[in-house]
Structure 1
Amino acid sequence: MKQTYNHVQFLQVLLAVLLLLSLTGCWSSHEIEELSLGIGVAFDKGKESTIEKELNEQGEGYSKKDLITSAYQLITPQVASSTTKQAGPQQKSYVNVSETGDSVLQMIREVSLRSEQPITAHHMKVIVIGEDLARSLNLEQLLDQNLRDNDYRPSCIVLISKGRASKTLETKTAGEIPAFRLVGIVDNEYKSTRILPPMSLIKIESKIQSGSSFLLQNVVSANGEVKFTGAAIIKGKTNKMTGFLNEEELDGVTWITGKGKGGLVKSFDKDTGQLIVYEIESMKSSIKPRVKGNNISFDVNIESEGRLPETWVVSGDTFKNEFLKKAEKSSEKEVKRLVRNSLEKMQKEYRVDVAGFGNRLRIENPKVWKKVKKDWDKTFSETPINYDVKLTIKDYGTSGGLKKK
């Protein structure tokens, strides 16, 4: 009995030892001190750097075309620790490294010739593409490596920059990390109708595969500051940028799609010319295709509920239905103006559908869509669109009016 017990104990110990030998851990892992974590990248039209120019003059550079300049924003353990220990007005929490070439992957590999810490892209948050490059290069080609390589997460957000994209990855504020700042602004879409829903790599791939035209959020930069202002139009046939919508035109597109999560409408009272502000609490829109023979048209029905947070109409009593109806009509008129201007821009100037009209036709009338999808943007530019707007003020705050007695 005792021998059997000892035998069982021996087998248990042996099994434990064998299990320990099998726990090799992450055999392909790297120490965090050896990594440079890429958190953002900017793509611009090629501009040779000082070190590359010197190498080329000496005949020591590698064979390439100066097609693209990429700027990688990195966080390294050394940068993080030095920022903590030596915080000061000029201290940066990041480093930017630039390369110029004609292959995105090769540019990443070139960084390993200049630094002992190669780029790791698993934590890449944002890709910013400069206007000049977006106009001249097909986005399917530019983003091919990012879409193929599993180093980049499909949730990585893509933006367009008016001017050099690399400038959006700079800041003068100590401790601020520009890539995180851009992602943080995207998260503010519940505050404004002028911020598009995040356009990730995976969403862009689906747009490219479908041949649809679409919008990318535009960001401008100056003196280390940035602002989201309007959107870039990417034409489905070419996958290149064809123009911009300004802030108000993007406002109009948001109302058409009904995808806004918050924001406001600023209008002026018809009688007094004074300010009225309507704040959006909810928004929805329905796009209904109408097909009669070979004729296609659309009806857009926009509805919203909101509140009256600010009015400069001193002769109005905001507790009275009469004034609230007046404020609703004033705000509705402004929304209609925004929608009209956006449609004018899409249909007459750029001749592209970036608001999802074609998608609604595809869903509700697939047979008709099959006939027109090949040249939908042209068909869309000649299609009548009717729209109706209904805003309802549900809340008018605690101030009951400034009417003088």
Structure 2
Amino acid sequence: MKQTHKNIRPLIVSLSVLLFLSLTGCWSSHEIEEQSLGIGMAFDKGKKSFIEKELNEQGEGYLRKDLITSTYQLITPQVASSTTKQAGPQQKSYLNVSETGDSILQMTRELSLRSEQPLTAHHMKVIVISDKLAKSHGLEKLLDLNFRDNDFRPSCIVLISNGRASNTLETKKAGEIPAFRLVGIVENAFRTTRILPPMSLIKVESKLNSESSFLLQNVLSVKGEVKFAGAAVIKGKTHKMAGTLNEEELEGVTWITGKGKGGVVKSFDKETGQLIVYEIESMKSIIIPRVKGDSISFDVNIESVGRLSENWVVPGDTFKNEFLKEAEKSSEKEVKRLVGNVLEKMQKEYKADVAGFGNRLRIEHPKVWNKVKKDWDQTFSETSINYDVKLTINDYGTSGGSK
């Protein structure tokens, strides 16, 4: 028995030494100083840069149709260090580089001809696609490389821009990084019903594969300033952008889906016409499919609990139940208006179910769904939808009494 232990001990020591040697470093690693970290991408209609025009005049470059201009937002060690040492009103914390061509991968590889630091996409946060490009190209083509490439995280967020997408990757504020700014705005959904839940690459791919119509957050950029302004309607059949919902219409979708985390409802008192603001603390919505023979309809039951945050009604005693009930009715009327308006646009103008009605039908009536799913958007446009809204004010702050 002792002899066995003596034979095993040298083997254990040898294995331990080999293990320690394997932990001394990463054989395939690259120094951080040699990397350009890609954090944002923008796709626009083709627009040649000055250097590309010069190459064309010289008869150089490679064969391409010049359909797309890709803009890459990079953080390099040089940019980061120079920003720290020389911070000033014009100092940028990022670098934007553009290429024009007809292959996303080839454009990415072209960057290797302009910089000694290869692009890495492991930290890519956001992809912005211009509305013009989204209307002329299917998203499955524009994002094919991103879906296939393991370098791109599935959590990377996809947005649509009103105007050139590359403008959303610019800022005038010193030290601000535009890609991080866009992701940060997405996280403000707990304050407003005008921001969609984030649509990541993996969610977009799932929608495209299922041929379901869906929404992508729309972002507007003017002179380095950006604002989330409504949503782009992506048709399930074509995978292209069909149009937009404005900010109020996006609010209506949020109430239908019940996915809002916060926000306000501004309404006006029936008798005085004065302002009443209801602040959302919670909301939920239940979409109930009704099937009778070949007829399909839906009931939408919306509920919310919130507080009376602003009241301009004079006189208006918020301590009285009668006044609170009237405030609730006023806010409910406004939500019904928002819901009715967006349903009209979804069904009549775009003929696109972007609020999940088909998904509820699939869950509760799978056999019926299998019959209608092939042309669901058209069927949806012809269905009857009833909706009910119930808001409850459970808090009115510390101010009350007659004004």
TM-score by length of 1: 0.96
Whole-angstrom distance in 2 between the partners of 1:332 and 1:181: 34
Whole-angstrom distance in 1 between the partners of 2:19 and 2:257: 57
Residue in structure 2 matched with residue 395 of structure 1 by the alignment: 395
Which string of whole-angstrom CA distances, capped at 9 and with x for unpartnered residues, describes residues 289-347 of structure 1? 11111111110000000000101002010011000000000000000000000001001
106 and 317 in structure 1: CA distance in 2 versus 1, 3 angstrom threshold: same
Give the counterpart letter for 1:43 in structure 2.
Answer: F
Please tell me whether residue 137 in structure 1 is matched to residue 154 in structure 2.
no
Give the root-mean-square deviation of aligned CA atoms. Answer: 1.7
Residue in structure 1 matched with residue 162 of structure 2 by the alignment: 162
- 5 Å-filtered alignment, 1:11-50, equals 16-23=16-23, 25-50=25-50
Residue in structure 1 matched with residue 256 of structure 2 by the alignment: 256
Q: CA deviation at 1:27?
A: 1.0
Whole-angstrom distance in 1 between the partners of 2:354 and 2:368: 19
Q: CA deviation at 1:12?
A: 6.9
Residue in structure 2 matched with residue 353 of structure 1 by the alignment: 353
Q: CA deviation at 1:65?
A: 1.2
**TM superposition outliers: structure 1 runs of 4+ over 3 Å:** 4-24
Equivalent position SS for 2:113: coil
Whole-angstrom distance in 1 between the partners of 2:379 and 2:5: 85
Give the counterpart letter for 1:313 in structure 2.
Answer: V
Residue in structure 2 matched with residue 82 of structure 1 by the alignment: 82
Between 23-32 and 234-243, report the one with greater CA deviation: 23-32
Whole-angstrom distance in 1 between the partners of 2:350 and 2:51: 41
149 and 401 in structure 1: CA distance in 2 versus 1, 3 angstrom threshold: same
Equivalent position SS for 2:151: coil
Q: CA deviation at 1:20?
A: 3.6
Give the counterpart letter for 1:166 in structure 2.
Answer: S
Between 113-122 and 15-24, report the one with greater CA deviation: 15-24
Whole-angstrom distance in 2 between the partners of 1:45 and 1:302: 41
Residue in structure 2 matched with residue 230 of structure 1 by the alignment: 230
Equivalent position SS for 2:337: helix
Q: Tell me if the contact between 1:37 and 1:76 (Cα under 8 Å) persists in the aligned partners.
A: yes
Q: Which runs of 5+ in 1 are unaligned?
A: none
Residue in structure 2 matched with residue 221 of structure 1 by the alignment: 221
Between 5-14 and 272-281, report the one with greater CA deviation: 5-14
- 5 Å-filtered alignment, 1:335-354, equals 335-354=335-354
Q: Tell me if the contact between 1:73 and 1:95 (Cα under 8 Å) persists in the aligned partners.
A: yes
Q: Tell me if the contact between 1:277 and 1:308 (Cα under 8 Å) persists in the aligned partners.
A: yes
Which string of whole-angstrom CA distances, capped at 9 and with x for unpartnered residues, describes residues 28-84 of structure 1? 110000000000000011111111111112111111110110100000111111101
Give the counterpart letter for 2:333 in structure 1.
Answer: K
Whole-angstrom distance in 2 between the partners of 1:164 and 1:402: 52
Residue in structure 1 matched with residue 207 of structure 2 by the alignment: 207
Give the counterpart letter for 1:56 in structure 2.
Answer: N
Whole-angstrom distance in 2 between the partners of 1:335 and 1:94: 42
Give the counterpart letter for 1:204 in structure 2.
Answer: V
Q: CA deviation at 1:16?
A: 4.7
Which string of whole-angstrom CA distances, capped at 9 and with x for unpartnered residues, describes residues 190-240 of structure 1? 000000000000000110111100000000000100000100000000000
Whole-angstrom distance in 2 between the partners of 1:211 and 1:351: 14
Whole-angstrom distance in 1 between the partners of 2:371 and 2:337: 32
Give the counterpart letter for 1:133 in structure 2.
Answer: L
286 and 60 in structure 1: CA distance in 2 versus 1, 3 angstrom threshold: same
Q: CA deviation at 1:21?
A: 3.5
Give the counterpart letter for 1:213 in structure 2.
Answer: S
Whole-angstrom distance in 2 between the partners of 1:68 and 1:263: 37
Equivalent position SS for 1:112: helix
Q: Tell me if the contact between 1:314 and 1:401 (Cα under 8 Å) persists in the aligned partners.
A: no
Whole-angstrom distance in 2 between the partners of 1:21 and 1:369: 59
Residue in structure 2 matched with residue 174 of structure 1 by the alignment: 174
327 and 31 in structure 1: CA distance in 2 versus 1, 3 angstrom threshold: same
Residue in structure 2 matched with residue 151 of structure 1 by the alignment: 151
Q: Tell me if the contact between 1:68 and 1:100 (Cα under 8 Å) persists in the aligned partners.
A: yes
Give the counterpart letter for 1:235 in structure 2.
Answer: K
Q: CA deviation at 1:14?
A: 5.0
9 and 292 in structure 1: CA distance in 2 versus 1, 3 angstrom threshold: closer
Whole-angstrom distance in 2 between the partners of 1:167 and 1:84: 25
Give the counterpart letter for 2:267 in structure 1.
Answer: S
Residue in structure 2 matched with residue 304 of structure 1 by the alignment: 304
231 and 12 in structure 1: CA distance in 2 versus 1, 3 angstrom threshold: closer
Equivalent position SS for 1:261: coil
Which string of whole-angstrom CA distances, capped at 9 and with x for unpartnered residues, describes residues 253-309 of structure 1? 000010100001000001001000000000000011111111111100000000001
Give the counterpart letter for 1:323 in structure 2.
Answer: F
384 and 28 in structure 1: CA distance in 2 versus 1, 3 angstrom threshold: same
Give the counterpart letter for 1:159 in structure 2.
Answer: L
Whole-angstrom distance in 1 between the partners of 2:13 and 2:360: 66
Please tell me whether residue 96 in structure 1 is matched to residue 102 in structure 2.
no
Whole-angstrom distance in 2 between the partners of 1:102 and 1:140: 15
332 and 86 in structure 1: CA distance in 2 versus 1, 3 angstrom threshold: same
Give the counterpart letter for 2:145 in structure 1.
Answer: Q
Residue in structure 2 matched with residue 109 of structure 1 by the alignment: 109
Whole-angstrom distance in 1 between the partners of 2:253 and 2:391: 17
Whole-angstrom distance in 2 between the partners of 1:5 and 1:94: 61
Whole-angstrom distance in 1 between the partners of 2:237 and 2:402: 55
Q: CA deviation at 1:22?
A: 3.5
237 and 12 in structure 1: CA distance in 2 versus 1, 3 angstrom threshold: closer
Q: Tell me if the contact between 1:129 and 1:161 (Cα under 8 Å) persists in the aligned partners.
A: yes
Q: CA deviation at 1:393?
A: 0.1
Q: CA deviation at 1:25?
A: 2.4
